[in-house]
Amino acid sequence: MIHPKAIIEKGVILGEDVSIGPYAYLESGVHLGKGVKVSAFAHLRANTYIGDNTFIGSGSVIGEVPQMIDAGAEKGKVYIGKDNIIREYVTINCSSFSDKATSLGDGNFLMACSHVAHDCKIANNVVICNGTLIAGHIEIGDKAFISGNVTVHQFVKIGRLAMIGGLSRINQDVPPFMMVVGDSKVWGLNLIGLKRADFSKGEISQIRKAYKILYRKELLLKSALDELGKLDSLVVKEIIVFILSSKRGICGPKRSSLWEKLFLDYPYFIRRKIPTYESIMKFDPSKFDKG
């Protein structure tokens, strides 16, 4: 299943049943597991390791050097696990040091034109939607969902089962299970994600309590952590450990300024439904050439 117009350098290691499309370019040092599919025009740079049954979309570039002005001559690695879907024109940069790696776990879905920069650590079953930009040294936990055209600042950590709304800008850490919208503001919980992950009603109830303590009681962070410590719950302990390990600080609560209320929130209350039927042209067959 290797197209005759694919370019495969010496030193590439191919697993069983791989598929490589036309004009794909695999450099020496690329390792593909069994069942990997590489689409047309994809470019896999040296020191890229891809696990079983992973799909690489058309025009994707995996393992390119970091986009750093002071990038050194040494080239790092990219480790990608099994059962990932990496769609067309995705770019994933290698690590900035030869003894380290940019890594993706298993079962991740990276949609078209998304970017993962150097030294990122993406866990398992993460969804990154179209056009999202993940800067360097970012860590993303299991089953996080990052919507389209999101930008994430370097060194940010995104916790397990967090959800980021479309067009958001993230410059602080996102605790597990939270939903962030806009400019690093927590609006609520990722309840749909929690239910899909088979969290029990009791666990969700404890997470609700933790959310209210953190983002509704207006406590200082130390006081909020003391309150969280009184909740006997493993999921709450996960939130506490995440916060204590945060170096950038965590995203804050949604508090609309007067300007935001006037120009952003208020229109939602007064807008009307758009009568879409009025914008649809009436079809008149007589205007078209029957020949």
- Residues of the chain short of pLDDT 70, as ranges, are 256-291
What b/e readout covers 151-189, taking b as 16+ CB neighbours within 10 angstroms? ebbeebbbbbbbbbbeebebbbbbbbbbbbbbebbbeeb
pLDDT in tens, 106-116: 999 999 999 99
Retrieve residue 215's tokens: 């983002």
List the catalytic residue out of 76, 81, 119, 173: 119
Q: How far apart are CA 41 and CA 58, in angstroms?
A: 6
Domain boundaries, the chain: 7-196
Looking only at the bridges linking them, the beta strands covering 178-181 and 185-189 are antiparallel
163-164 and 157-158 strand pairing? unpaired
pLDDT at residue 71, as a whole number: 76
CATH number of 7-196: 2.160.10.10
pLDDT, residue 72, reads 72
Q: Is the full-model pTM beyond 0.75? A: yes
The yes-or-no answer on residue 131 being catalytic is no
Structural element, H or E, at residue 101: strand 101-104
Going by C-alpha positions, the residue among 92, 85, 15 that lies closest to residue 48 is 92
pLDDT at 70: 84
* Residue matched to tokens 């940019």: 102
Q: Can you name the residues that pair with 178 across neighbouring β-strands?
A: 189
Contact indicator for 141, 122 with CB cutoff of 8 Å: no
Catalytic residue among 59, 81, 131, 136: 136
Burial-class residue 140 by CB neighbours within 10 Å (0-12, 13-18, 19+): buried
Q: Give the three-class secondary structure for 64.
A: strand
Task: Give the other-Cβ count within 10 Å of 75's Cβ.
Answer: 19
Residue 119 annotated among the catalytic residues of the structure: yes
Residue among 31, 43, 115, 118 flagged as catalytic: 118
Is 118 considered catalytic here?
yes
- The pLDDT, as a whole number, for residue 279 is 47
pLDDT digits (tens, 9 = 90+) for 161-177: 999 999 999 999 999 99
- The token pair at 273 is 């439904």
